[in-house]
């Protein structure tokens, strides 16, 4: 008997409504609605088009329930991390959520550190320092005298905000809360003393719930419908990591590959020490409370932004075409630090300036840009892998690459070659698979994370990529390491 779930996966570039059919220990996925997720730039900053996104969620629900007449066993939403909305006492949205790439975050870490030193923040939260973390965004609003913040009654992270609009229930799902830099993974609660030192009101934060928790039935204009809404692993990376088809062995790490690359291991408990701080790793929480010990890496953001810039100039490429161009281009024409490119717009020009600032000739063609980005990502993965092995004290022999980026066969080969490790690519739909199968845990159809991963392994093929022993990678890595951090 088939059981149907609906998973909404909202990424930095697009969102999707995915139908999941669970039957006899296997999962099949069908996309029923896809929509762009494009930020909106206003004089006051860069924003998400939040109301449009909720409209698209409603439209996806209508396709499933009204057009296809499906009986749904659950609905779940995952999104990107760190961003949030503020609600008034009557539940109204006070200010449209800002995009994490908003320039208001520039320099904010230093302003926050002037009040609470970074060592103390890390001791409380165990989180990697990035200028757009929720803590810094919230503190930026405080320092700017935000009128919305002055009258706010509740702060909800993005998946929690959409869940509230679907159900009327205000909760903070654990995995998304753990990306905020004001969650304490040791005490398993929000870091209220830290917030109070910064003049931020912890009473704005709702109760924390676990992934798989039932929020309530779906509500719509006609009243309440008898469709359960589950709080899944609301952070998209947490959903993707849950769906890594790995065995119980401890010699593997993962890369959740998309606009961002998240590279790390699962760890039984938070690892908060001087070494972790120095290496700038993060302790985020996953399904069953497992710690996602990882580093954020810029990922295919550079690739996407170059494509957008070239299209605006009249040169439109598909991602497959860009991969073919990269494969045929001159190797190691330029070495980039992917994490140096945070802000949007003018990406090819930014890359060219980066090369010139580091004594390199910029790529000479679109094809060389494409190859330089992929090679540089692979080199960054090698660097993070070395740090990760140093941190956990063991060699990691397998790299599971999941998410949309796992479709890029050239990048997969570059990763295998750069790291001299076996790469296991797939599933590409790990995030939505994790979303739907956590719903199945909430619906008592799957018992635990081990069973969830067994369903993934039985449902989706993977590709094993071995190192080709291509030359040039060690020399390129030395060039990469010589770049300024």
The pLDDT score that the predictor gives to residue 446 is 97
Q: 118: pLDDT confidence band, cut at 50, 70 and 90? A: very high
Considering the entire predicted model, what is its pTM?
Answer: 0.94
Non-local CB neighbours of 124 within 8 Å, separated by 6+ positions: 184, 191, 193, 194
Average pLDDT over residues 51-78: 96
Say how far apart CA 460 and CA 456 lie, in whole Å: 6
Q: What percent of the chain has pLDDT over 70?
A: 98
Q: Which entry of 226, 236, 320, 474 is annotated as an active-site residue? A: 236
Cβ atoms of 400 and 378 closer than 8 Å: no
Cβ atoms of 140 and 207 closer than 8 Å: no
Average pLDDT over residues 191-196: 98
Phi/psi of residue 238, nearest 5 degrees: -65, -40
DSSP helix/strand/coil, 70: coil
In 3D space, the residue among 183, 193, 192, 154 whose CA is nearest the CA of residue 170 turns out to be 154
Among the listed ranges 47-51, 268-272, 334-338, 480-484, which one has the minimum average pLDDT value? 480-484
Helix axes 158-167 and 50-62, enclosed angle (nearest 10): 50
Whether 13 shows a pLDDT value over 90: the answer reads no
For 271, other C-beta atoms within 10 Å of its C-beta total 18
Cβ atoms of 74 and 443 closer than 8 Å: yes
| Per-chain mean pLDDT for the chain | 96
Say how far apart CA 208 and CA 228 lie, in whole Å: 19
Among the listed ranges 21-35, 211-225, 256-270, 418-432, which one has the minimum average pLDDT value? 211-225
**DSSP codes, 98-166:** BPTT-GGGTTHHHHHHTTS-HHHHHHHH-----TTSHHHHHHHHHHTT-HHHHH--EEEEHHHHHHHHH
The pLDDT score that the predictor gives to residue 398 is 97
Whether 212 shows a pLDDT value over 60: the answer reads yes
The pLDDT score that the predictor gives to residue 38 is 92
Average pLDDT over residues 94-114: 95
Active site residue 236: yes
Cα radius of gyration rounded to whole Å, the chain = 22
Say how far apart CA 160 and CA 357 lie, in whole Å: 42
Whether 225 shows a pLDDT value over 80: the answer reads no
Domains of the chain: 3-231 (3.30.420.40), 244-426+447-485 (3.30.420.40)
| Sign of the CA dihedral with 93 first, then 99, 100, and 103 last | negative
Q: What is the pLDDT of residues 345-380, one digit of tens each?
A: 899 999 999 999 999 999 999 999 999 999 999 999
The pLDDT score that the predictor gives to residue 485 is 64
Among the listed ranges 228-232, 245-249, 291-295, 407-411, which one has the minimum average pLDDT value? 245-249
Q: What is the pLDDT of residues 141-181, one digit of tens each?
A: 999 999 999 999 999 999 999 999 999 999 999 999 999 99
Whether 426 shows a pLDDT value over 60: the answer reads yes
Average pLDDT over residues 121-139: 97
Average pLDDT over residues 203-207: 98
């Amino acid at each position: 008997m088939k059981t149907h779930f609906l998973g909404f996966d909202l990424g930095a570039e697009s969102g999707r409504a995915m139908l999941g059919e669970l039957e006899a220990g296997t999962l099949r996925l069908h996309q029923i609605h896809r929509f762009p997720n494009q930020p909106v730039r206003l004089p006051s900053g860069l924003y998400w088009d939040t109301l449009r996104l909720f409209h698209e969620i409603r439209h996806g629900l209508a396709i499933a329930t009204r057009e296809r007449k499906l009986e749904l066993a659950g609905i779940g939403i995952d999104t990107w991390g760190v961003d949030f909305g503020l609600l008034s006492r009557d539940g109204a949205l006070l200010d449209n959520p800002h995009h994490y790439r908003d320039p208001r975050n520039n320099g904010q870490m230093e302003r926050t550190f002037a009040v609470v030193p970074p060592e103390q923040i890390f001791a409380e939260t165990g989180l990697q320092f990035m200028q757009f973390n929720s803590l810094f965004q919230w503190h930026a609003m405080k320092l700017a005298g935000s009128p919305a913040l002055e009258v706010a009654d509740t702060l909800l992270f993005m998946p929690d905000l959409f869940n509230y609009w679907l159900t009327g229930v205000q909760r903070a799902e654990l995995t998304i809360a753990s990306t905020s830099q004001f969650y304490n993974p040791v005490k398993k609660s929000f870091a209220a003393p830290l917030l109070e030192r910064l003049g931020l009101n912890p009473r704005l934060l709702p109760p924390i719930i676990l992934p798989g928790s039932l929020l309530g039935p779906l509500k719509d204009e006609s009243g309440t419908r008898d469709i359960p809404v589950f709080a899944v692993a609301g952070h998209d990376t947490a959903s993707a990591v849950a769906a890594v088809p790995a065995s119980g062995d401890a010699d593997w790490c993962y890369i959740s590959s998309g606009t961002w690359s998240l590279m790390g291991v699962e760890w039984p408990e938070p690892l908060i020490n001087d070494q972790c701080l120095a290496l700038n790793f993060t302790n985020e929480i996953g399904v069953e409370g497992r710690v996602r010990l990882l580093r954020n890496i810029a990922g295919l953001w550079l690739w996407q932004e170059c494509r957008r810039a070239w299209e605006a100039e009249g040169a439109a490429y598909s991602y497959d075409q860009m991969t073919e161009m990269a494969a045929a281009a001159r190797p190691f024409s330029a070495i980039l630090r992917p994490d140096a490119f945070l802000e949007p717009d003018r990406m090819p020009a930014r890359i060219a300036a980066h090369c010139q600032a580091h004594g390199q000739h910029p790529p000479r063609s679109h094809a060389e840009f494409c190859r330089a980005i992929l090679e540089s990502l692979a080199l960054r993965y090698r660097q993070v892998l070395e740090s990760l092995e140093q941190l956990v004290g063991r060699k990691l022999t397998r790299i599971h690459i999941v998410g949309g980026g796992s479709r890029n066969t050239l990048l997969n080969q570059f990763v295998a070659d750069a790291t001299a490790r076996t790469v296991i690519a797939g599933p590409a739909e790990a995030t939505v698979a994790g979303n739907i199968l956590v719903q199945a845990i909430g619906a008592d159809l799957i018992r635990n994370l081990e069973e969830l991963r067994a369903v993934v392994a039985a449902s989706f093929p993977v590709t094993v990529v071995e190192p080709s022993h291509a030359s040039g990678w060690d020399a390129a890595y030395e060039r990469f390491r010589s770049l300024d951090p």
